[in-house]
Amino acid sequence: MGRTLKSRLEVAGIYLVVLIMFAVILYPLLWAVSISLNPGTSMFSSKLIPDSLSLEHYKWLFYDPRSDYVLWYKNTIYVAVLNALFSVIMVGLVAFVFSRYHFAGRKNSIYAVLLMQMFPVLMGMVAIYLLLNLVGLLDTFAGLIIFYVIGGLPMNVFLVKGYMDTIPRDLDESAKMDGAGHLTTYFRILFPLVRPILAVVALFTFMAPFMDFLTPRIILRSPEKFTIALGLFSFINDKVGNNFTMFAAGTILVALPIAVVFLILQRYLIAGLAEGATKG
């Protein structure tokens, strides 16, 4: 009898902890939603449970002539698609070479890439700014995309290489035996097999421009070229309390699709990540 009571108490305790965590997790998220639905632009007057709900901030983002929100969204999608595309192409090929070829300097180049992955890109921001200025790529999407693709390359290469190493080499060696060239081997044999991890890379690189405000802040200058994160940051950067409702509304429209995609794909994400980390 005492045993079941103890067990019940334990389960109750677990549920209590879970409930507290629910509250802690959901409170800021719900708060942001409620702010975005509050009428008026000031955070001072807003309440957790608003007296009246209003969609005025969402409407403002889309219809007000002073709002660049739609433009920012378009810019971000443009950058994100190209970033994902080029990243997947380059990362796949480089990982393929690292995983499958013996060549003089292989070990040293892997060391070099590993080392580069360790240094935060932020450390060289001044130089990036001056360099892009010198070659005329400052304030262009091309500059931003090049920076994203190359800057993220080292880390992504290791993710994919680790995954590729787990695929038996017999497969591509027998393809070589049958006379397949380098690229044929990659695209016909290995590419289909590493698609899961490349999908992870594509997702990460696609999402990066939505969340990163720092790089665009340094590379992009004109407001009509802003990406969404930079644009939203500019809402609240100057005067904290005043535009916060607009910021909240704009944020929710970005966070919602990302969160949904993430929750749907998280199972594959974890599997891919764990695989790459333990085997890489």
Position 226 contacts another protein (CB under 8 A): no
Position 280 contacts another protein (CB under 8 A): yes
CA distance 109 to 228: 36
Q: Return the range that interacts with another protein (CB under 8 A); candidates 56-64, 66-74, 100-108, 219-227.
A: 100-108
Under rule CB under 8 A, which residues in 38-57 are in contact with another protein?
A: 43-44, 48
**What number of other Cβ atoms are within 10 A of residue 243's Cβ?**
20
Position 236 contacts another protein (CB under 8 A): yes
CA distance 35 to 73: 21
Dihedral sign computed on CA atoms, order 190, 205, 263, 24: positive
Position 90 contacts another protein (CB under 8 A): yes
Q: HSE on the CB side for 188, CA within 13 Å?
A: 14
CA distance 56 to 39: 7
Tell me whether residue 45 or residue 64 sits nearer to another protein (CB atom).
Answer: 45
Position 26 contacts another protein (CB under 8 A): yes
Six-digit token pair at 83? 């970033």
CB of 81 within 8 A of CB of 206? yes
Tell me whether residue 10 or residue 64 sits nearer to another protein (CB atom).
Answer: 10
Site string for another protein, 111-150 (x = CB under 8 A): xxxxxx-xxxxxxxxxxx-xx--x-----------xx--x
Position 174 contacts another protein (CB under 8 A): no
CB of 85 within 8 A of CB of 236? no
Position 2 contacts another protein (CB under 8 A): no
Tell me whether residue 78 or residue 129 sits nearer to another protein (CB atom).
Answer: 129
Six-digit token pair at 237? 């950067």
Under rule CB under 8 A, which residues in 57-86 are in contact with another protein?
A: none
Under rule CB under 8 A, which residues in 237-256 are in contact with another protein?
A: 240-241, 244, 247-248, 251, 254-255
Q: How many residues bind another protein (CB under 8 A)?
A: 95
Six-digit token pair at 86? 């080029």
b (16+ CB within 10 A) / e for 149-168: bebbbbbbbbbbbbbbeeee
Position 1 contacts another protein (CB under 8 A): no
Q: Return the range that interacts with another protein (CB under 8 A); candidates 52-60, 67-75, 191-199, 203-211.
A: 203-211
Position 11 contacts another protein (CB under 8 A): yes
Which one among 9, 25, 89, 171 touches another protein, defined by CB under 8 A? 25
Compute the least distance from the CB of residue 150 to another protein, in Å. 4
CB of 121 within 8 A of CB of 148? no
Site string for another protein, 205-224 (x = CB under 8 A): --x--xxxxx----------
Cα distance from N-terminal residue to C-terminal residue, the chain: 51
